[in-house]
Amino acid sequence: MKAMMKGMNDEMAAMTMSGNADVDFAKMMRIHHVGALDMAQAHLKEGKDPAMLKLAKEIIAAQKKEIAFMDKFIATHPHPPAKAAK
């Protein structure tokens, strides 16, 4: 789980910002949601507690729906990366 969190955080930190708050939010949150999806799927393989397994399944369903929404938003709101300050 820590490796998944580190990978997600590294990817978010490396993301080039566009300067458009809506697009940047959607792109960052997409990375975050994919990380949550990966963690929940890993939990389904290793977890034992029925309540946590149920939660992992609910997280997977919700995150997939939200990722699809963000993908659509990003695709319909292209924005070039912000120009670096000189």
- Work out whether the CA dihedral 71, 37, 6, 51 comes out positive or negative: positive
- Where helices occur in 2-84 by DSSP H, the ranges are 2-14, 21-46, 50-76
Q: How far apart are the first and last CA of the chain?
A: 39
Summarised one tens digit per residue, pLDDT across range 8-53 is 999 999 998 988 999 999 999 999 999 999 999 999 999 999 999 9
* Alpha carbon distance 73, 65 (integer Å): 13
Name the pLDDT band for 82 (thresholds 50, 70, 90): low
Q: What length is written for the chain?
A: 86
Give the pTM.
Answer: 0.85
* Alpha carbon distance 49, 47 (integer Å): 6
